[in-house]
Structure 1
């Protein structure tokens, strides 16, 4: 049965009794490694004993509380152990957290002592006695290496960990030693850890899951490899560290695992993956399964000691939170606290030996969340109501279905939205605030604050106001709790029963950046014309002649409409790329007034200034390069970016239909401006094939190509030399696979799949209509020639045979797939890049990888790859 989890363990012992016993068993074995520093079990335990003696002399006693504000280092681990050896409880304080928040925790916990470092000397205003770790280390020779006799046992508090609070203040969760010992000994058996393991610890000590990172190795005899703060935030550095140190176990949130995957984790590692802190997304499971030995999903709130359930994930079709750890009970209850064992959905309650004492100094809240366990035979037993929805499957495993209340998880951090709201109300000009976590782009949750203000502001004043709110919140809240976006509302929507209707809160316009400077009305006839066209097509009532098209949220589709309207009104056809250099009404109107010839060169300067190696991006099937602007603007200030647009867009030049000629044409324009190189080439969709051939020609000419990048480009194999029968068989087989895969896509995301398939069908019907019913009729209007260019490009692609090149290829692959491919992992490129394919997963689907907010993450990953390539 689900809750038959009874297991013997030394409930009377404190955690430090177990770590000391392990030190006696493995005295000369490596316990802790940090950069080049190595501590044996004996050295680590003796250092903790010495520091405990020093702390006792400073007045720290059993039952007291001590804060720890140290950077990640061996001294941090030693301090945590030493505090527990004195019989006191520790409060973990990440020095990177806001000063006000740390000071609140010190005051609320009545911490007698604060252990910190010289670099933070007198930084925190508190009643605690400050103990500098440097001073303590100097006194070590005066203290014995033996265990201090303090009488600490399993009932004593081990730590007080503060979590986000709904009243605007964090709340301290009190965890006893036996809570921790029970959990750790259970995890030692499953998922399992042995003295042969090497564990990489990456989690901040202010996050409760750090307890598994630090203490499970130290009670097992395994080696603890401690990552510093910078490494823990760098996906590439983490992958390199796992490989270099032969790490066998690592625990992290889904956000960190994603970060590692997009940073070049390209081969299977002998790694046991622990994933916890928030829901385990299916797409992440799919990516991780071939990259590691085992995957374990762990679930549980801080209030029930780190994790309460565990499940080995062996398939992306079977993601649950599993079954309870030792001496833990899971209940699914309705509002009347009836136990729902029939698969009905209810709230998850957790009972057993992991349940915390309660919240420090919050008796009323403790009584509300820690309730009597009516299902336990143990007198006085309590259970914790998690606020999570769940159900029990027929096989006894538990499925977690998300939050009941408004507590959310963002990047693994549990956040009480009410705490952000309470702090927002302290900011200037806000009289009401509602915060939600939106996931308009899968896998990229964003905090959005909807506010009602006392005084309406516009333009630059509104932008300044948003900046001030973010700055004010950063002074009191961790960065992960500060909203990404603000939306000013006239009124907050409510449901018929008077509650806030969070589902009715509108999607923010992520792209809009408000005007800086005064509004200036159009002055000339051309300015008035351009302003009118912008207003009609951008849905903005008032646009200053100095407003930037891109900063107003302008994108390719809007640009096409604007340029088409300009052509219709003036008879002048301008390339979309004109907007890069003429991005305001004033500049675009002036361009219309000029009599000089309108250039349609293929090479377009998107962001030409900068000292770094330039990046050249080839257009996709959409033919223009305007959609690369957001990507370029989010890259390093010193990074030049150029686009290559299709020849023939002006309706005069004949479009090229041979891949080698297309590539040669683009190379000629690049080399004319940059004859020496080196060159970094990239292409989007069809453009990737063109970029590949450009690389081939440049290398053959003796030029240095530092980088070849594919932006979600599939390596299509040409069938030009196949027999007619083989072509028919291959096409039929492919269509059958595409049809079958449509059902997979429908199951994953029915709404988006139907939208996408409908769009594709519409395009096919339009193409069919022109081909069958109007084969000789010329289209009119802006981009009337795009169909001819499309046909020429398709012909070039059909006849082009990819040849292997002695290069490393960087593949930037969209996370969300909207169509079938034979090779989902390398998109068919592995046989052609002889030095290997580096896969970088980027957010969005094929058509949205350049759109906000995906552009920022894409730019960050791309910039790292470019910088790395330039150094080789």
Structure 2
């Protein structure tokens, strides 16, 4: 071995010292760039274009608005905004105040976001009207819409705040092995050093167009959002839906002439599977997890450059970079500016001879440490004994690696049980600890498996306290997944579970994770009998599912999501269908047509023929005054079918389904807007009236607002009916203490009433309460795991998303008295406590009185046979009476 050559390579490895403005805060440098290129386009979002001047001045005004909330340098501000120019401006504005931001993805579980707010002691939560009141914290909630409306009150000059390179820029929470996320504290100089190094290599120039696709809760978003603003390049921001759609990303790269894009291997696979073939003038930055060998040739053939990026959050995004060509080995390259990488053994000896050890990283990217976690900070951020700089720290990554003779670093995977799945860093212990808190779990081990190349899956291996019968397995797995979704993001919830009698161990007593068995992915828990494909399209779709999902057999009524389908395999399926048939279907099609039978039938239908109007003709013919029934919280207008069919043959009945069921339209979350949307469709078909409105459960409140709006325009509302809807008195003006007291009293009364119900009908009460609990778990955390939700078919594939919007609308809606009579159809059997059992709270709001009609059943069974027949008779009689008045 040529020792001199090896020594030279190692010296060059950490010879990275470069001067940079270490004392300057990031926003100062961005403001300087804005002065140099005021009229140059800085941000593009859909049809919007903002110049550097627009962005900088907007950030200045927003910063001044935030400063009115007594923000000081070093304070923390949470940011929960959808992807938009306002999101970027908000981050920049927070830096200008001297505060640090905590990025909060609104799609994360509510409890997790609230923990981050509490742990960071954020003084302000900057969010939007869409998420108003959604998160509970002691922080002052500031709405971006309100701030924008006050911009005229502020000058466009930089705020007079003192911020230096040693002040915090952001606190980003990552998965924690103790069961709670941990906040990594990044200073301005950490971020400035990183970005200026990235400007040089891989490189970004003023003429570049960078496409930003990453959630702000992932640290690599810092490069995407700030580097273009720092160098004068153009930043193209995608919305959350586009960022997950491979075909849409390809089209956007072409349309916007994207020259730089950063993403995880998962996203690059999504684009490849969506049919990306065209070579683009694109510099690819690939990181977040190990670069798979099979991607190298494919990506190089379609781009100008492919860069492998490596670095943990604790050392500020990327710490090493490497240009990867087809004929080169995969390494993570060499350190960026002012960064040192060491390979260290257990005695902290620096291994320079090619031996394998743990990767330690030192230099100007090393974070301040973990927020409020001094012991963990001391454990992971240790004294840099190699630099010779007093007080300097280095971070122990937990990754194994070695140094080649040429000084390049090879990363060999994790020492501990932290893994990367689809680019997300996951502490497996956090999942295991939360599993142990769930029912019937005695022992739990979680690992990441990649039995299908390119499709990593988390698998939970469980020893249970009580045996589970085979027919009950599916329900148990769903309960575990729902329980985890209550506290963890979707990407941390296992896709599969395996029941174990014992957990294998190694001779030294440690869990032998390599000996854990492969799940039987083909073991489908089918509720009905197997139905083989019957048509050419069904045969084609079934064959594609079998191959890409590694399943032995598919019944035509098997549900894609219940089979464990995820977005990556969905992209592969759609790409294969397009290749085989020439028909391109949007990715969201699988949510609506989730079985082989439905997807195959969808291939035979003209896309233009599919409509998503809210007004649904249930029984449209007849000479009588039409009845319009608004959906309940379950959104299922099919509930009203049996009721309608039992009414008079001349009685027309229409249902109203929520906007957004197609997965494209945004669900409405303001009660007045929901009502106006439904009214517009009714009037389009029936402009003159008169109108008979009804609503089931939540739908009753919507129907009430519809009546209010119709009457305000002079329309005649002959009937306003409530199908077992409770009018909860608004408390929006009450203090927080009053709300807590009222809520506590209500909870006590509900508990007391439950004992009454148990005495009357214990079996039914237990069944009902269990059902309600299950539904609440599903509703609360629907948006992070559509594939793990209850079976969804037809119009109802997006019901949980719309439920969330509807519940927000309900929380913010204030009932006011209306000059009308209310026809209250009240279920005879009460299954939950109400403050007003007689009129369900409606008397204060109906100036002409409340007419009570008792109907058989309880809240959830009034439409079920045989109750539907009696209900129909009572309802028809009421309709006929009001028609004559």
Q: Tell me the distance in 1 between the aligned counterparts of 2:605 and 2:188.
A: 59
Contact 1:201 1:227 (C-alpha < 8 Å) held by counterparts: yes
TM-aligned CA distance change 1:321 to 1:149, over 3 Å = same
Counterpart residue number, 1:384: 395
Counterpart residue number, 2:287: 276
- Counterpart of 1:344 (choices 341, 348, 355) is 355
- Counterpart of 1:430 (choices 432, 438, 441) is 441
Q: In the TM superposition, what are the counterparts of 1:677-688 in structure 2 within 5 Å?
A: 680=581
Counterpart residue number, 1:511: 522
Runs of 5+ consecutive residues of structure 1 not aligned to the other structure: 517-546, 550-578, 582-603, 609-613, 638-678, 683-703, 708-855, 857-872
- Counterpart of 2:271 (choices 250, 257, 260) is 260
Contact 2:532 2:555 (C-alpha < 8 Å) held by counterparts: no
Counterpart residue number, 2:106: 95
Contact 1:282 1:316 (C-alpha < 8 Å) held by counterparts: no
Counterpart residue number, 1:314: 325
Counterpart residue number, 2:458: 447
SS in 2 for 1:119: helix
Q: Tell me the distance in 2 between the aligned counterparts of 1:337 and 1:618.
A: 54
SS in 1 for 2:31: helix
Q: In the TM superposition, what are the counterparts of 1:818-833 in structure 2 within 5 Å?
A: none
Counterpart residue number, 2:169: 158
Higher mean displacement: 498-507 or 223-232: 498-507
Q: Are 1:492 and 2:444 counterparts?
A: no
- Counterpart of 2:532 (choices 564, 577, 580) is 580
Count of aligned positions = 555
Q: Tell me the distance in 1 between the aligned counterparts of 2:213 and 2:541.
A: 37
Contact 1:615 1:681 (C-alpha < 8 Å) held by counterparts: no
Contact 1:323 1:396 (C-alpha < 8 Å) held by counterparts: yes
For each residue in 1:394-422, what CA deviation from the matched residue of structure 2 results, as whole angstroms up to 9, or x when unmatched? 11100001001000000011100011111
Counterpart residue number, 1:182: 193
- Counterpart of 1:395 (choices 400, 406, 409) is 406
Q: Tell me the distance in 2 between the aligned counterparts of 1:142 and 1:316.
A: 59
Q: Are 1:52 and 2:63 counterparts?
A: yes
For each residue in 1:313-370, what CA deviation from the matched residue of structure 2 results, as whole angstroms up to 9, or x when unmatched? 1125421100000000000011111111111111000000000000001000111100
Q: Tell me the distance in 1 between the aligned counterparts of 2:23 and 2:542.
A: 65
Counterpart residue number, 1:34: 45
Q: Tell me the distance in 2 between the aligned counterparts of 1:635 and 1:5.
A: 51
What is the CA-CA distance between 1:455 and the residue it aligns to? 1.2
Contact 2:75 2:122 (C-alpha < 8 Å) held by counterparts: yes
Runs of 5+ consecutive residues of structure 2 not aligned to the other structure: 1-11, 563-579, 584-603, 608-786, 788-885
TM-aligned CA distance change 1:359 to 1:630, over 3 Å = farther
What is the CA-CA distance between 1:607 and the residue it aligns to? 7.7
TM-aligned CA distance change 1:15 to 1:705, over 3 Å = closer
What is the CA-CA distance between 1:425 and the residue it aligns to? 1.3
For each residue in 1:625-683, what CA deviation from the matched residue of structure 2 results, as whole angstroms up to 9, or x when unmatched? x967469946699xxxxxxxxxxxxxxxxxxxxxxxxxxxxxxxxxxxxxxxxx9599x
What is the CA-CA distance between 1:226 and the residue it aligns to? 0.2
SS in 1 for 2:478: helix
What is the CA-CA distance between 1:615 and the residue it aligns to? 5.4
Contact 2:532 2:556 (C-alpha < 8 Å) held by counterparts: no
Counterpart residue number, 2:601: none
Contact 1:107 1:126 (C-alpha < 8 Å) held by counterparts: yes
TM-score, length of structure 2 as denominator length:
0.61
For each residue in 1:262-298, what CA deviation from the matched residue of structure 2 results, as whole angstroms up to 9, or x when unmatched? 1121110001101011100010111111100011111
TM-aligned CA distance change 1:264 to 1:433, over 3 Å = same
TM-aligned CA distance change 1:288 to 1:515, over 3 Å = closer
Q: Are 1:299 and 2:322 counterparts?
A: no
What is the CA-CA distance between 1:245 and the residue it aligns to? 0.6
Counterpart residue number, 2:26: 15
Q: Tell me the distance in 2 between the aligned counterparts of 1:226 and 1:41.
A: 15
Q: Tell me the distance in 2 between the aligned counterparts of 1:154 and 1:306.
A: 17
Contact 1:680 1:706 (C-alpha < 8 Å) held by counterparts: no
SS in 1 for 2:241: helix
What is the CA-CA distance between 1:605 and the residue it aligns to? 3.8
For each residue in 1:710-761, what CA deviation from the matched residue of structure 2 results, as whole angstroms up to 9, or x when unmatched? xxxxxxxxxxxxxxxxxxxxxxxxxxxxxxxxxxxxxxxxxxxxxxxxxxxx
SS in 1 for 2:442: strand
Q: Tell me the distance in 1 between the aligned counterparts of 2:495 and 2:541.
A: 31
Contact 1:616 1:681 (C-alpha < 8 Å) held by counterparts: no
TM-aligned CA distance change 1:91 to 1:169, over 3 Å = same
- Counterpart of 2:127 (choices 95, 111, 116) is 116
SS in 2 for 1:443: coil
Higher mean displacement: 312-321 or 147-156: 312-321
Q: Tell me the distance in 2 between the aligned counterparts of 1:10 and 1:429.
A: 57
What is the CA-CA distance between 1:221 and the residue it aligns to? 0.1
Counterpart residue number, 1:831: none
Q: Tell me the distance in 2 between the aligned counterparts of 1:438 and 1:123.
A: 35
Contact 1:303 1:384 (C-alpha < 8 Å) held by counterparts: yes
What is the CA-CA distance between 1:706 and the residue it aligns to? 11
Q: Are 1:207 and 2:159 counterparts?
A: no
TM-score, length of structure 1 as denominator length:
0.62
- Counterpart of 2:246 (choices 231, 235, 240) is 235
Q: Tell me the distance in 2 between the aligned counterparts of 1:57 and 1:635.
A: 51
Higher mean displacement: 260-269 or 44-53: 260-269
Q: Tell me the distance in 2 between the aligned counterparts of 1:358 and 1:631.
A: 53
Counterpart residue number, 1:78: 89
Q: Tell me the distance in 2 between the aligned counterparts of 1:294 and 1:632.
A: 45
Q: Are 1:192 and 2:203 counterparts?
A: yes
Q: In the TM superposition, what are the counterparts of 1:726-745 in structure 2 within 5 Å?
A: none
SS in 1 for 2:126: strand
RMSD of aligned residue pairs (Cα, Å): 2.5
For each residue in 1:676-707, what CA deviation from the matched residue of structure 2 results, as whole angstroms up to 9, or x when unmatched? xxx9599xxxxxxxxxxxxxxxxxxxxx9999
Q: Tell me the distance in 1 between the aligned counterparts of 2:456 and 2:268.
A: 15
SS in 2 for 1:338: coil
Counterpart residue number, 1:800: none
For each residue in 1:106-141, what CA deviation from the matched residue of structure 2 results, as whole angstroms up to 9, or x when unmatched? 000000000000111110011111001111011100
TM-aligned CA distance change 1:137 to 1:405, over 3 Å = same
SS in 1 for 2:443: strand
What is the CA-CA distance between 1:489 and the residue it aligns to? 1.2
Higher mean displacement: 380-389 or 449-458: 449-458
What is the CA-CA distance between 1:513 and the residue it aligns to? 2.9
Counterpart residue number, 1:167: 178
TM-aligned CA distance change 1:333 to 1:35, over 3 Å = same
Q: Tell me the distance in 1 between the aligned counterparts of 2:97 and 2:521.
A: 52
For each residue in 1:58-84, what CA deviation from the matched residue of structure 2 results, as whole angstroms up to 9, or x when unmatched? 122111000000000111111100110
Contact 2:109 2:487 (C-alpha < 8 Å) held by counterparts: yes
